[in-house]
Amino acid sequence: MNQEAIKRRKFIDNSAKAAAGMIGLNALGLPFARTFGTPRPTRLPAAPRIKFSVIGINHGHIYSMVETAIRGGGQLVSFYAKEPDLSAAFAKRYPDAKIASDKREILDDQSIQLIASAAIPNERAAIGIEAMQHGKDFMVDKPGITSLEQLAQVKDVQKKTKRIYSIVYGERLENKATIKAYELVKNGAIGKVVQTIGLGPHAMNPQTRPPWFFEKEKYGGILTDIGSHQFDQFLLFTNSTEAEVVTSQVGNFNHKQYPELEDFGDTMLRGNGATGYLRVDWFTPGGLKTWGDSRATILGTEGYIEMRKNIDIGGRPGGNHLFLVDQKETRYVDCSNVPLTYGTRLVDDILNRTETAMTQHGCFLATELALKAEKMAYKII
């Protein structure tokens, strides 16, 4: 097995183990290990309501995406990956899914309603375009699109076909503290939102990363990639249907052995009456017991909310921590029992042709902001 295949195997094995272990850790209330997934709920999957397939499994997020679709009522029937080692690992996890000999086999199967993909990032848009052109909805790992040219093509095909192009911004859609925070903001708990601050630090673990991870053309840049979560949340909490990038910057401070890698990026945003700041990086230290101390603060005219999504370094176990300060009190909100509804809503949308999981405009706008921020970013170092 060559070096690239070995790295791919390590990466996918670690991610698969993470997804499998999250249920047990969550049930025990233990701190989460350094993994790439988010905690999975312990609810049983819904009865199958749609059939779906997978094309492209280059990132381990595909495992949590599949579980999300199954929980929502999806039945995994087949998958295709051009890499034999990744295909073998996926088949081991989902032995009932048929291994397709070619992606055309999946695209031409009229019984399949949804295609999920975590292919190499710059290949995802093309897969999505083919899926939509074949009458299928598309669920894709972030970044779901890596260039403004791809975005224009995807938007054109989506408009013509009326299919769903759903980018899985997991820090919002699959994070219980974020879901709870949105409920509180929507109900006026902190008044009118003035600003959001999103911090998305991640663990590097370079020994597990495949070669494409270090090639900017393939991963899209740090703001396009992990920054996309923060752009999405800015739009959500400020209720912005329009927004602009004020300024942005990126840098490679400490990974010169990977010249195309960006290990730091930040951006200032302006939306419909509110502002935002986000910072993402690859500097999570080895002593942290999770993949990143992801945080967000929402400032309102009557109070503020802070989320500590993956870990509370102050000592509380697990993730999904939320702190609310208003005119009356300061309180802690445990979000561990908040239901995750993205999978169910996505399947509902597929069946009913609605937009309850995510609006298509919002999905594309978050990506557009990330792509523009990346393109205009000042190179610090």
DSSP per residue, 211-255: GGGG-HHHH--TTTTTHHHHHHHHHHHHT-SS-EEEEEEEE-SS-
Q: In this model, does residue 28 exceed pLDDT 60? A: no
Q: In this model, does residue 31 exceed pLDDT 80? A: no
Average pLDDT over residues 211-235: 98
User: What pLDDT, on the 0 to 100 scale, is given for residue 150?
Assistant: 98
Q: pLDDT tens, 297-324? A: 999 999 999 999 999 988 789 999 999 9
User: What pLDDT, on the 0 to 100 scale, is given for residue 20?
Assistant: 41
Residue 307 φ/ψ region, left for φ over 0, alpha for ψ in the -120 to 50 degree band, beta for the rest: beta
Q: In this model, does residue 42 exceed pLDDT 90? A: no
Q: pLDDT tens, 360-369? A: 999 999 999 9
Average pLDDT over residues 341-348: 98
User: What pLDDT, on the 0 to 100 scale, is given for residue 234?
Assistant: 98
User: What pLDDT, on the 0 to 100 scale, is given for residue 46?
Assistant: 63
Average pLDDT over residues 325-348: 96
User: What pLDDT, on the 0 to 100 scale, is given for residue 9?
Assistant: 54
Helix axes 3-28, 61-72, angle to 10 degrees: 50
User: What pLDDT, on the 0 to 100 scale, is given for residue 313?
Assistant: 87
Average pLDDT over residues 233-245: 97
Q: In this model, does residue 6 exceed pLDDT 80? A: no
Q: In this model, does residue 43 exceed pLDDT 90? A: no
Share of the chain above pLDDT 90, in %: 85
User: What pLDDT, on the 0 to 100 scale, is given for residue 4?
Assistant: 57
d(CA 180, CA 121): 30
DSSP per residue, 181-203: HHHHHHTTTT-SEEEEEEEEE--
User: What pLDDT, on the 0 to 100 scale, is given for residue 2?
Assistant: 55
Largest pairwise CA distance in the chain = 62
d(CA 173, CA 167): 10
User: What pLDDT, on the 0 to 100 scale, is given for residue 3?
Assistant: 55
Q: In this model, does residue 335 exceed pLDDT 90? A: yes
Q: In this model, does residue 40 exceed pLDDT 80? A: no
User: What pLDDT, on the 0 to 100 scale, is given for residue 34?
Assistant: 33
Average pLDDT over residues 155-166: 98
* Structure confidence at residue 273 as a pLDDT band (50, 70, 90): confident
Residue type, 136: K
Q: In this model, does residue 19 exceed pLDDT 60? A: no
Q: pLDDT tens, 124-142? A: 999 999 999 999 999 999 9
* Structure confidence at residue 27 as a pLDDT band (50, 70, 90): very low
Q: In this model, does residue 7 exceed pLDDT 90? A: no
Average pLDDT over residues 20-33: 32
Q: What is the pTM of this model?
A: 0.89
DSSP per residue, 310-375: S--TTS--SS-EEEEE-SS-EEEEE-TTPPP-HHHHHHHHHHHT--SS--HHHHHHHHHHHHHHHH
Average pLDDT over residues 84-103: 97
Q: pLDDT tens, 288-297? A: 999 999 999 9
What's the whole-number average pLDDT of the chain? 90
Strands 303-308 and 264-270: unpaired
* Domains, in order of start, for the chain: 3-169 (3.40.50.720), 172-341+370-379 (3.30.360.10)
- CB within 8 A of 2, min separation 6: which ones? none
Q: In this model, does residue 15 exceed pLDDT 80? A: no
User: What pLDDT, on the 0 to 100 scale, is given for residue 1?
Assistant: 53
Q: In this model, does residue 120 exceed pLDDT 90? A: yes
